[in-house]
């Protein structure tokens, strides 16, 4: 009987420890999470680009990075854009245009519209919103109607793609966010 009681106690303690570890699924943001905010902007699906080829009005236009991570560019076809910086993509397009289309193409790219951010949880109007460079978590929450009455107003969980991997970390509401981030405002416990 004593042995069975000890086993039951061990099972209960183990289950309780497992439940507590489940409560801490989100850890403070790793170092790479913060470093991503100071890195050059990397393109991904949903970004709309204004591409100008000097003295080539037929090629100069707005192009959107599709779900597969490509832009469809006249003459040269699909060009991989996902994960590229603007200078890298400018070089790739210029190189392809040199291959039998233009002698010395001068390509410049500007971001016309950044991919959306997503705000969920304890906010007035959860949903998808436009990203603005320099945006903080607090700015994003304000756009989404502010905190609900039950919101934890100290920190939030942000999910971000870093080097092709999805990473979630807990950050302060004054922290920066990036295009494509998902912000989750948790409910407070008391």
User: Based on the domain organization, do 108 and 121 belong to the same domain?
Assistant: no
User: Based on the domain organization, do 121 and 179 belong to the same domain?
Assistant: yes
User: Based on the domain organization, do 143 and 99 belong to the same domain?
Assistant: no
Q: Work out the pLDDT band at 27, boundaries 50, 70, 90.
A: low
50 SS3 class: strand
Task: Say how far apart CA 170 and CA 33 lie, in whole Å.
Answer: 10
- Report the residue count for the chain: 190
Q: pLDDT for 102-124, tens place per residue?
A: 999 999 999 999 999 999 999 99
Domain that residue 62 falls in: 48-113
Interacting residues of 20 by C-beta distance below 8 A, sequence separation 6+: none
Q: How many domains does the chain have?
A: 2
The residue out of 113, 131, 149 marking a domain boundary is 113
User: Based on the domain organization, do 87 and 180 belong to the same domain?
Assistant: no
Please check whether residue 13 lies inside any domain of the structure: no
The residue out of 85, 113, 141 marking a domain boundary is 113
Q: pLDDT for 64-90, tens place per residue?
A: 999 999 999 999 999 999 999 999 999
Please check whether residue 10 lies inside any domain of the structure: no
Task: Say how far apart CA 151 and CA 190 lie, in whole Å.
Answer: 10
What CATH number does the domain containing 107 carry? 3.30.1950.10
Please check whether residue 15 lies inside any domain of the structure: no
pTM of the model: 0.77
**What average pLDDT score do residues 27-33 get?**
74
Percent of the chain with pLDDT over 70: 85
Task: Say how far apart CA 74 and CA 181 lie, in whole Å.
Answer: 31
Residue 162's CB is within 10 A of a number of other CB atoms, namely 16
User: Based on the domain organization, do 85 and 137 belong to the same domain?
Assistant: no
Residue 146 token pair: 């502010």
What CATH number does the domain containing 154 carry? 3.10.560.10
User: Based on the domain organization, do 129 and 175 belong to the same domain?
Assistant: yes
């Amino acid at each position: 009987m004593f042995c069975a009681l000890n086993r039951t106690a061990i099972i209960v303690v183990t289950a309780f420890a497992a439940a507590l570890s489940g409560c801490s699924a989100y850890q403070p943001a790793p170092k790479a999470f913060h470093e991503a905010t100071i890195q050059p902007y990397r393109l991904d699906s949903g970004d709309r680009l204004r591409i100008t080829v000097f003295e080539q009005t037929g090629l100069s236009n707005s192009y959107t990075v599709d779900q597969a991570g490509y832009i469809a560019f006249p003459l040269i076809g699909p060009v991989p854009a996902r994960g590229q910086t603007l200078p890298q993509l400018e070089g790739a397009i210029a190189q392809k245009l040199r291959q039998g289309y233009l002698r010395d193409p001068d390509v410049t790219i500007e971001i016309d519209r950044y991919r959306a951010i997503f705000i969920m949880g304890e906010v007035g109007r959860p949903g998808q919103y436009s990203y603005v460079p320099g945006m903080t978590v607090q700015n994003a929450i304000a756009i989404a109607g502010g905190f609900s009455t039950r919101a934890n107003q100290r920190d939030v969980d942000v999910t971000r793609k870093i080097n092709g991997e999805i990473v979630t970390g807990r950050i302060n509401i004054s922290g920066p966010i990036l295009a494509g981030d998902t912000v989750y405002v948790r409910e407070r416990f008391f």
